[in-house]
Amino acid sequence: MTQSTAPAHEASQEALPRQHRHYSIGELARMFEVTPRTIRFYEQEGLLAPRREGQKRIYREKDRVRLKLTLRGKRLGFSLAEIREVVMMYDAMPDGNARQLWRLLEILADKRANLERQLEDIRLMRMELDDVDHRAREVLRGLGHEA
Amino acid sequence: MTQSTAPAHEASQEALPRQHRHYSIGELARMFEVTPRTIRFYEQEGLLAPRREGQKRIYREKDRVRLKLTLRGKRLGFSLAEIREVVMMYDAMPDGNARQLWRLLEILADKRANLERQLEDIRLMRMELDDVDHRAREVLRGLGHEA
DNA sequence: GACGAGGTTTACGTTAACGTAAAGTGCTTG
DNA sequence: CAAGCACTTTACGTTAACGTAAACCTCGTC
């Protein structure tokens, strides 16, 4: 997250209906601007579970969404373990027992608290960036008069 | 997690004068709930530059603020290198040449863009958490009827 | 003067999240 | 059929951000 050129965010083109239904690893990788290695790694970490057609991995819509959520979580500073925690429990929900569901609610509340704190952090950090920006511009004005 | 007891109403005026003026590494560590090792590491990475009194490190108000900003940056997912980039240029500002100042403005814009994206990410993630929460509660209600 | 509570340096260990070969499989295309 | 993709597995390498351990000062105090 270091590059200053950040126009290409998520998937670029989206005119076509999602009828495609399945993607290759390379397609997904290009879509989200990650390497295939990353996608395989996420699978190994239990975040994705694509079908196989022979050797090849076949990703369906669900996998694409998961990957999207995973990357979003990462941008927010969550670890893969944390993300998996939510994702897996979400999957186990339908037949989940009460204890697990309560545990899930607990985790969700935790994540939400995290987000709220981040909102405040962003607010503060914004103010500080604005401040530095201001000072820098003033110094620049000063330099303009000299030279 | 990171917070102790939330101060109900932090008096706008300086309740306690910051006359303390300087802190030991242990004090700072307890204040921010990090280990001394972390603080030394940040120094080694060029984020802090405490005075020395003999061997001992002496931290002043400025250092405390820097540490606070650093930790905030970390919570937002910035790397120490990124944080240092801003912090150091901020320090070099007064006598900075124009090119460096422009570079600083560039970096600031970059960070701000980052924050904006995070805001959006938070918004989306919140919605998804809410959704999962909803479903989980419904399943729980269902379980209540059985058993 | 032994001791414990703080501090110090040096240095190796650890974890997460991938990167980077190396070597093989399967298709299709000139 | 050779060449070129796109994909596969296996496995070692790398970076960031510390943790952890050892061995050493330097107080105040019991």
Domain boundaries, chain B: 20-77, 92-147
Q: What is the mean pLDDT of chain A?
A: 86
How far, in Å, CA of B5 to CA of B8, rounded? 9
The architecture in CATH of the region A19-77 reads Orthogonal Bundle (1.10)
Q: Which of A10, A114, A6, A68 is nearest to B122 (CA)?
A: A114
Q: What is the pLDDT of residue B145?
A: 60
* Tokens (6 digits) for A120: 């405040």
Q: Which of B80, B89, B70, B62 is nearest to B32 (CA)?
A: B70
How far, in Å, CA of A10 to CA of A71, rounded? 10
Q: What percent of chain A has pLDDT over 90?
A: 65
How far, in Å, CA of A107 to CA of A127, rounded? 31
Taking only the tens place, the pLDDT of each residue in B51-71 is 999 999 999 999 999 999 999
Q: What is the pLDDT of residue B19?
A: 62
Spatial neighbors of A69 by CB under 8 A, at least 6 apart, are A83, A87, B128
Would you say A93 and A101 are in contact if contact means Cβ atoms under 8 Å apart?
Answer: yes
For residues B124 and A98, the model is more confident at B124
How far, in Å, CA of B67 to CA of B61, rounded? 10
Assign A14 a pLDDT band (cuts: 50, 70, 90): very low
Taking only the tens place, the pLDDT of each residue in B80-130 is 999 999 888 888 888 878 888 998 999 999 999 999 999 999 999 999 999
- pLDDT beyond 90 at B14: no
The Cα of B101 is separated from the nearest Cα of chain A by a number of Å equal to 6
Q: Which of A44, A43, A48 is nearest to A66 (CA)?
A: A48
Q: Classify burial at A10, counting beta carbons within 10 Å of its beta carbon; exposed 0-12, middle 13-18, buried 19 or more.
A: exposed
Cβ separation A75–B112 shorter than 8 A: no
For residues A110 and B96, the model is more confident at A110
CB pairs under 8 A between A and B: 120
Taking only the tens place, the pLDDT of each residue in A29-73 is 999 999 999 999 999 999 999 999 999 999 999 999 999 999 999
Q: What is the pLDDT of residue A4?
A: 35
Chain B, 11-40: which CBs lie within 7 Å of strand D?
Answer: 34-35, 37-38
Cα dihedral value B78, A86, A119, B16, nearest 10: -90
Question: B58 by DSSP, 3-state: which?
Answer: strand
Mean pLDDT of B6-33: 69
The Cα of B88 is separated from the nearest Cα of chain A by a number of Å equal to 12
Pick the CATH number of B20-77 from 3.40.250.10, 3.40.50.300, 1.10.10.10, 1.10.1660.10: 1.10.1660.10
- pLDDT beyond 80 at A144: no
Q: Is the CB of A35 under 7 A from strand D?
A: no
Residue of A nearest to B65 (CA): A128
Q: What is the pLDDT of residue A16?
A: 52
- pLDDT beyond 50 at A111: yes
Q: What is the pLDDT of residue B142?
A: 87
**What is the gyration radius of the CA atoms in chain B, in angstroms?**
22
Instruction: Select from A4, A77, A104 the Cβ nearest to the Cβ of B75.
Output: A77
Mean pLDDT of A86-108: 86
Residue type, A52: R
Q: What is the pLDDT of residue B9?
A: 35
Assign A97 a pLDDT band (cuts: 50, 70, 90): confident
Assign B143 a pLDDT band (cuts: 50, 70, 90): confident
Q: What is the pLDDT of residue A94?
A: 80
Spatial neighbors of B75 by CB under 8 A, at least 6 apart, are A77, A117, A118, A121, B2
